[in-house]
Amino acid sequence: MAVVAEKANADYVIAMEISQLITTRHLSMFQVKVVTKAKLKYKLYNAKQNKLVSFQTTGLSENKSVFGDVGYRDPITKALNQAMDEANTKIMNSL
């Protein structure tokens, strides 16, 4: 990450990895539910201090429907956005 910061002349470099993305579908008599859990790993490199900080965030979302079908896109998007919002708060607090 130090090489990337040097070549890009950047003060900070942020790397993110989707370490876990689990989506399950639950069926009952009258309801369908899709639950997604997202786990993201981050590395934040401060070039001025030559310091690397690692942290992890999680997001959870569920989508329910009674007498209908439920898609996977919305819960996955919401879980990822929730985890990224949490990470953004951590990053802004560490700057």
| Cα–Cα distances in angstroms (integers) from residue 44 to residues 61, 67, 75, 95, in the given order | 26, 45, 27, 10
Which residues on neighbouring strands pair with residue 64, listed in sequence order?
A: 33
Domain limits of the chain?
Answer: 2-94
Structure confidence by residue, pLDDT tens digits, 47-85: 999 999 999 999 999 887 766 667 788 899 999 999 999
Name the one residue in this structure whose structure tokens are 């993110």: 16
pLDDT at 73 (0 to 100): 87
Taking the complete model, does pTM exceed 0.85, yes or no? Answer: no
Handedness of CA 15, 19, 25, 31 (dihedral sign): negative
